[in-house]
């Protein structure tokens, strides 16, 4: 059967800018080594590199898959120890590009095969990829074509025909709803949440049968609703917002100096554990600036659409409710970072791309912050979908 390729329209424009990169992927976070490369590096015979390689790699005992089998050691500046004094990769220089491990070969690309389709996307933790993803004024669009070639690093997900249709119905609905610009992002997410609550109440068989009809119904709802009419019927929950803000901005530990700086400066005059009123007043003061800034709205939309395209297939197995919480928590944390800093950072497209890129890089390799955010939400008596919905209104 002929294979197809699905990718965002900007995908082929990506090219690493190497030395001109303001936040190289060879520093500032854990760099995973897949099992095959790790073993190859351990047994390397080339005298020019074998000792350096052995010294600078280590096992990653916390790794959950073979792709996270090992990691490169970092120096005191958090740089990969395989970089030379000119910041060039000694593995690539000595052994050639083919010797690079999975992470260094594909990053910031994600290539997966779902049934007969190769899906290609980019990650917002790379500054150059983040510009391509986030600065699409008209919204992200996708190209489907015959597949010509594909890399050998493709993860393969196989679904039955009916599961595949269900996956497509849901993902197309999520993306169409997120790009429905008549409404605020909050309302778009709210309607996705209502659809998910509805569908998860059905038996698995009924979900598959009704997803196409229900997703059309909820898109019609977005068409028919007056701007933010639905959101107005929901309450705000400042207590959950302040707890989340306190954990994420004041307690979450990361090595990223810029992330620490913007997290510290957000809501810096407010005691987030004690003063909920001051927090609510702050949000009310700057809410309009956040809502009326079209750069913020477009960048958040593109961020979420990219998250759906790249992550939905992974989370789907753990239910749509889990994915919805994942989406809303990422959105809420990013919104807190932006609103918390709106009175002292000029929120233009360049600074916003930087905030999203640093947020992704500081958080995407850490499962802790997401799990902790879920724990904070779980303290409340609502169901998990309701908890995520209650985070939306500010
Ligand atoms: S972060 Fe992106 S642009 Fe920067 S060095 Fe890595 S791949 Fe290249």
- pLDDT(382) > 60: no
For residue 130, what pLDDT is reported?
A: 98
- pLDDT(98) > 80: yes
**Which residue out of 11, 15, 17 has the highest number of ligand 1 atoms within 8 Å of its CB and is therefore the one to mutate?**
17
For residue 231, what pLDDT is reported?
A: 85
Q: If you count DSSP H runs as helices and E runs as strands, how many of each does the chain have, helices first?
A: 16, 8
Ligand 1 pocket, residue 169 CB under 6 Å: no
Measured CA to CA, the distance from residue 320 to residue 262 in angstroms comes to 32
Pull the structure tokens for residue 27.
């520093």
Ligand 1 pocket, residue 17 CB under 6 Å: yes
Distance between Cα 107 and ligand 1 center (Å):
8
* Segments making up each domain of the chain, as ranges: 26-106, 158-394
Long-range contacts of 55-63, Cβ-Cβ distance < 8 Å, separation of 24 or more: 55/81, 56/81, 56/82, 57/33, 60/30, 60/32, 60/33, 63/32
For residue 53, what pLDDT is reported?
A: 93
Q: What count of Cα atoms within 13 Å lies in the side-chain half-sphere of residue 283?
A: 20
Closest residue (by CA) to atom 5 of ligand 1? 24
- pLDDT(385) > 90: no
Residue with tokens 């993902």: 171
- pLDDT(14) > 90: yes
Whether omega for the bond prior to residue 108 falls within 30 degrees of 0, making it cis, is yes
23 contacts: CB under 8 Å, gap ≥ 6: 127, 357, 358, 361
Question: How confident is residue 233, by pLDDT bands cut at 50, 70 and 90?
Answer: confident
For residue 315, what pLDDT is reported?
A: 58
Question: How confident is residue 384, by pLDDT bands cut at 50, 70 and 90?
Answer: low
Residue with tokens 């302040």: 242
Pull the structure tokens for residue 351.
């600074």
Please identify, by atom number, the ligand 1 atom nearest to the C-alpha of residue 125. Answer: 1
Question: How confident is residue 375, by pLDDT bands cut at 50, 70 and 90?
Answer: confident
Q: Which of 11, 315, 359, 377 is nearest to 167 (CA)?
A: 315
Measured CA to CA, the distance from residue 224 to residue 18 in angstroms comes to 48
Ligand 1 pocket, residue 88 CB under 6 Å: no
> What dihedral angle (degrees, nearest 10) is formed by the CA atoms of 330, 336, 341, 345?
30
For residue 238, what pLDDT is reported?
A: 86
Distance between Cα 292 and ligand 1 center (Å):
32
Is residue 118 classed as helix, strand or coil in its secondary structure?
strand
Q: Which of 164-178, 258-272, 330-344 is predicted least confidently?
A: 258-272
**Which residue out of 15, 18, 131 has the highest number of ligand 1 atoms within 8 Å of its CB and is therefore the one to mutate?**
18
Ligand 1 pocket, residue 25 CB under 6 Å: yes
Summarize the confidence of residues 297-306 as an average pLDDT: 98
Distance between Cα 254 and ligand 1 center (Å):
20
Q: Which of 70-79, 297-306, 360-369, 376-385 is predicted least confidently?
A: 376-385
Q: What are 156's strand-pairing partners?
A: 113
Q: What digits encode the pLDDT tens for the residues 306-331?
A: 999 998 976 555 688 888 988 998 99
For residue 86, what pLDDT is reported?
A: 80
Q: Which of 29-43, 61-75, 308-322, 345-359 is predicted least confidently?
A: 308-322
Which sign does the torsion angle of CA 332, 338, 341, 343 carry?
negative
Ligand 1 pocket, residue 83 CB under 6 Å: no
Q: Which of 106-110, 140-144, 181-185, 361-365 is predicted least confidently?
A: 361-365
For residue 379, what pLDDT is reported?
A: 65
Question: How confident is residue 279, by pLDDT bands cut at 50, 70 and 90?
Answer: very high
Residue with tokens 């709210």: 190
Angle at 253 between CA 250 and CA 256, to 5 degrees: 105
Distance between Cα 126 and ligand 1 center (Å):
5
The strands making up 109-114's β-sheet, listed across from edge to edge, are 142-146, 4-8, 117-122, 109-114, 155-157
Calculate what percentage of the chain has a pLDDT beyond 70: 94
Q: What digits encode the pLDDT tens for the residues 105-146?
A: 899 998 889 998 999 999 999 999 999 999 999 999 999 988
Measured CA to CA, the distance from residue 235 to residue 261 in angstroms comes to 31
Which tops the pLDDT comparison, 372 or 134? 134
Q: Which of 132-136, 150-154, 289-293 is predicted least confidently?
A: 150-154
- pLDDT(151) > 70: no
Question: How confident is residue 189, by pLDDT bands cut at 50, 70 and 90?
Answer: very high
For residue 318, what pLDDT is reported?
A: 61
Q: What digits encode the pLDDT tens for the residues 195-206?
A: 998 998 899 889
Ligand 1 pocket, residue 21 CB under 6 Å: yes
């Amino acid at each position: 059967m002929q294979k197809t390729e699905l990718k965002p329209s900007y995908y082929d424009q990506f090219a690493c800018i190497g030395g001109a990169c303001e936040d190289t992927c060879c520093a500032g976070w854990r760099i995973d080594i897949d099992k095959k490369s790790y073993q190859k590096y351990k047994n390397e015979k080339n005298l020019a590199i074998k000792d350096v390689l052995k010294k600078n790699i280590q096992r990653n005992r916390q790794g959950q898959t073979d792709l996270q089998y090992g990691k490169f050691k970092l120096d005191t500046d958090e740089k990969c120890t395989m970089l030379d004094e000119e910041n060039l990769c000694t593995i690539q220089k000595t052994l050639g590009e083919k010797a690079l491990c999975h992470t260094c070969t594909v990053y910031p690309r994600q290539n997966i095969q779902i049934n007969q389709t190769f899906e290609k996307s980019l990650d917002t933790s790379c500054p150059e990829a983040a510009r391509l993803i986030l600065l699409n004024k008209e919204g992200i669009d996708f190209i489907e074509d015959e597949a010509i070639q594909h890399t050998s690093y493709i993860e393969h997900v196989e679904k039955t025909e009916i599961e595949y249709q269900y996956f497509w119905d849901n993902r197309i609905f999520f993306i169409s709803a997120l790009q429905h610009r008549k409404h605020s992002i909050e309302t778009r997410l709210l309607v996705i949440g209502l659809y998910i609550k509805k569908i998860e109440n059905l038996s698995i068989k009924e979900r598959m049968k009704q997803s196409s009809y229900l997703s059309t119904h909820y898109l019609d709802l977005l068409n028919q609703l007056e701007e933010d009419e639905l959101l107005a019927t929901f309450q705000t929950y400042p207590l959950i917002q302040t707890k989340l803000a306190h954990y994420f901005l004041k307690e979450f530990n990361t090595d990223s100096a810029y992330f620490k700086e913007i997290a510290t400066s957000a809501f810096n005059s407010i005691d987030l554990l004690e003063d909920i009123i001051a927090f609510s007043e702050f949000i009310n003061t700057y809410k309009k600036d956040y809502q009326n800034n079209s750069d913020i709205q477009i960048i958040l939309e593109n961020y979420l659409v990219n998250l759906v395209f790249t992550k939905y297939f992974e989370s789907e197995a753990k239910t749509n409710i889990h994915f919805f919480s994942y989406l809303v928590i990422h959105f809420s944390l990013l919104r807190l970072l932006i609103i918390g800093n709106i009175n002292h950072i000029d929120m233009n497209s360049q600074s916003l791309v930087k905030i999203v890129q640093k947020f992704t890089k500081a958080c995407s390799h850490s499962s802790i912050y997401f799990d902790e955010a879920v724990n904070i939400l779980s303290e409340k008596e609502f169901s998990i979908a309701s908890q995520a919905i209650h985070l939306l209104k500010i």
